[in-house]
Chain A
Amino acid sequence: MSTPAEKHALRVSGETSLTLVAFIVFFTALLAWVYLFSQPVIEQSTRNEKLVVLNQILPANLYNNDPLADSLTLPPEPQLGTKTASTVYRARNNGKDSALVMDVIAPDGYSGPIKLLVAFSANGQVLGVRAVEHKETPGLGDYIDPRKDKNKTSPWIDQFNNVPLSLSNKDWHVKKDGGDFDAYAGATVTPRAVVKAVHRAQEFVMDNRKVLFTRSTTQNSANP
């Protein structure tokens, strides 16, 4: 037999947990509603953001398809520095292959990996590079992001605009290491990492560009 005190305790805890459940249900419903409402807008802004970066490194006259739709998922690839699946966007002009835009990761930045977006022309030439994500020291190594670069007229990263194909392996270094690429004094680890990563990625594209352009999107998603 339970005493009146035990009955009372049972009733109070029952009521309390019901109240908590009611609060949880109500606020979960609120969150679900806001999520449904904002999801399309979020997807649109993420897409716009990608397009903005894409347009900075991919000349608009090179393509007339939708590269964001014509994409390919690559498995982790040591030459690109990717540890997870990455995406390749393919630009075509009237169906003719014109450029590839892909994720490249420089694993040896000053404070962790630097995520880059690199555009290659159909013959493997580097068209442009943007740093998408990095943790380089503010005011020191973060000039790889043109928004943080003090030189607004010709930011450091613009050296990767239309890099000549004739560049030798020796030239693919910062000037301090006997190469062709400038680096600001005081921070060479960061540009060194970027130059190395872009060069490695270019070699990968040179070896694989036929496959990258021809593999179909649908086939790939079914069989990654």
Chain B
Amino acid sequence: MWITRTEFVDIAHKGIWKQNTSLVQILGLCPLLAVTTNLVNGVMLSLATLLVMSLSNLAVSSLRHFIPYEIRIPVFILIAAALVTVVDLAMNAYLHGLYVVLGIFIPLIITNCIVLARIEAFAAKNRPAPAMMDGAMMGVGMLWTLALIGALRELIGGGTLFSGIDLVIPGAQALQLLPADYPGLLMAVLPPGAFIILGCIIASKNWIDARSAARQLTQAAPVSAGGCH
């Protein structure tokens, strides 16, 4: 009824690495470009998305026998939108400073096609526990990617890390990693910087994958022709 170890490992590997939402599926680019100007924003938006995806996958999976196939899409959207609104209201109430910063991107989580994609592709066909785990792990995949992009943009753009942390943990201070007179590179903070950094991360991921694939090939029997990936 719950979740087996192999299932868990498989779901985690797919969510965090193999089918990473931002690096492989390239879904949800709008919040990725707009919000990841620093580490804290990227992490907090990912956490909100992670929460929405876990809850919506859990809800859809639990209700999957009651949802008629013909109207599944409107029901999925209804469930996910309701949960996004709940997260939106809760953040507005309890993390108001951050809510002001992330602003329109919290309600816009519903337009992130990854939410509906995971509901349709996974939650509607699987038991609640693996479904919730799938939502969470897809969220973790998005989390580390957005955190990395946010950290790089913040560091290159302004020489700091964790700026805006005081909105989450009152009294905490941002780290000034580069010298205070670092002029900053504006382009890293603007959307083109996000595209370039995202491109570099995708390239690194593909390089790592290609290298491990090549290593497996040399260990196993050599084959005459390789696939594209």
Q: Write the residues of chain A forming the contact surface with B, with a CB cutoff of 8 angstroms.
A: 15-16, 19-20, 23-24, 27-28, 30-31, 34-35, 38, 41-42, 45-46, 48-49, 137-140
Residue of B74, B93, B189 ringed by the most chain A CB atoms within 10 A:
B93
Question: B82 on the interface (CB 8 Å rule)?
Answer: yes
Q: Judge whether B190 and A138 touch: CB under 8 Å.
A: yes
Residues of chain A within 8 A of B67, CB atoms compared: 19, 23
* Stretch of B4-12, B84-92, B136-144, B198-206 at the chain-chain interface: B84-92
A19-B93 contact, Cβ under 8 Å, with A138-B190, A139-B189, A140-B186: no
Q: Write the residues of chain B forming the contact surface with A, with a CB cutoff of 8 angstroms.
A: 37, 66-68, 70-71, 74-75, 78-79, 82, 85-86, 89-90, 92-94, 96-97, 100, 157-158, 184, 186, 189-190
- B166 closest partner in A (C-beta): A147
Residues of chain B within 8 A of A30, CB atoms compared: 82, 86
Q: Judge whether B70 and A31 touch: CB under 8 Å.
A: no
A31-B82 contact, Cβ under 8 Å, with A41-B94, A49-B96, A139-B184: yes
Q: Judge whether A19 and B89 touch: CB under 8 Å.
A: no
Q: Judge whether A19 and B186 touch: CB under 8 Å.
A: no
- A46 closest partner in B (C-beta): B96
Q: Judge whether B68 and A34 touch: CB under 8 Å.
A: no
Q: Judge whether A139 and B71 touch: CB under 8 Å.
A: no
Q: How far is the CA of A49 from the CA of B189 in the complex (A)?
A: 26
Q: Judge whether A16 and B93 touch: CB under 8 Å.
A: no
Q: Judge whether B93 and A23 touch: CB under 8 Å.
A: no
Q: How far is the CA of A203 from the CA of B184 in the complex (A)?
A: 38
Q: What would 18 A/B residue contacts be, using CB atoms closer than 8 Å?
A: A15-B68, A19-B67, A19-B68, A19-B71, A23-B67, A24-B78, A27-B78, A27-B79, A31-B82, A31-B86, A38-B93, A42-B92, A45-B92, A49-B96, A137-B190, A138-B186, A138-B190, A139-B189
Q: Judge whether B189 and A138 touch: CB under 8 Å.
A: yes
Residues of chain A within 8 A of B158, CB atoms compared: 139
Q: How far is the CA of A48 from the CA of B97 in the complex (A)?
A: 10
Q: Judge whether B186 and A16 touch: CB under 8 Å.
A: no
Instruction: Name A16's contact: one of B68, B89, B157, B184 (CB within 8 Å).
Output: B68
Q: Judge whether A34 and B89 touch: CB under 8 Å.
A: yes
Q: Judge whether B86 and A41 touch: CB under 8 Å.
A: no
- A17 closest partner in B (C-beta): B71
Q: How far is the CA of A41 from the CA of B100 in the complex (A)?
A: 15
